[in-house]
Amino acid sequence: MALITYREALRTALDEEILRDENVVVIGEEVAQYNGAYKVTEGLWAAHGDRRLVDTPISEAGFVGMGIGASMLGLRPVIELMFWSFAYVAFDQIINNAGCVRYMSGGLINVPIVIRGPANGGTNVGATHSHTPENFLANVPGLKVVAPATAYDAKGLLKTSIRDNDPVMFMENTLLYGEKWEVPDTEYLIPLGQADIKRAGTDVSLIAHGRAVLTCLKAAELLAAEHDINAEVVDLRSIRPLDEETVLSSVRKTHRAVVVEEGKPFCGIGAQLVSTIQEKAFDDLDAPIGRVTSIDAPAIYSPPLEKRQLPDPQHVIEKVLRLS
């Protein structure tokens, strides 16, 4: 096992998949000579050249659309976005083409593309650079949505996503890129649609994805130390497909649930989880389901105010205590 950063795990996955499959190409702004806006692709252009790492103009509508067309013709493009906020100008291609073409072709045309990049607030870059659109994308039949919380998951899920024959929206977090975790030196894959119990517990289920998982883990530590509450942390890892059974099994064990996300509350991922738990595990609940989200407003530019806008461990603890 090696102790590496989240960005290094992503880079390793890309490197291994480029070597494994000649159809894998990385496309995006500054991904080649400049090594990527967040240095995820550092060294890959020097190792693999212009045909495998392709720099593009600042035109998401252009290069996302090009990647989708290339995937329909047999390539496996990995599109890097500087921010997922910028994908909105390419939603026509993502939703109407990538999301629908396999269905509309009767299964004759696959779209094996991965679109990846940071989808988060918390970096004080303003409302137009801080969107978390995983709920929008998960609403579209035909798109898969993945949100790894750790370097281990980032590598295994990215490799699986690249090999998948459907379009995968891969949601990262800028604040995770420099964080380190242990990652195996050997190859491994993590199936899409398989959640992970990051911390076993008996008193309440904290259900999250992306960086919110780390928020829950910290909250669980404090709940145990200060309130003698043993929280279980469920990491969705994959939002669509969603591993309902792992979520429901956890709730049936703990009888309480709090869903946590950095997205907005209205029509969010948490709302879907609450609906699923209410419908399929209502009789197992001993308290109403709690939700913790960001404040329902555009991302705040001010650093101290944006910090308050996003969920933190104390928000999670307060919600859990209300259910006890």
Mind telling me the catalytic residues?
60, 129
Full DSSP string of 248-261: HHHHHHHS-EEEE-
Spatial neighbors of 274 by CB under 8 A, at least 6 apart, are 259, 289, 291
Residue 295 tokens read as: 């404040």
Q: What is the SS3 assignment for 34?
A: coil
Those residues with Cβ within 8 angstroms of residue 104's Cβ, 6 or more apart along the chain or in another chain: none
d(CA 127, CA 84): 12
Distance CA 209, CA 284 (A): 23
CA distances from 136 to 25, 141, 240, 274 (A): 26, 11, 11, 17
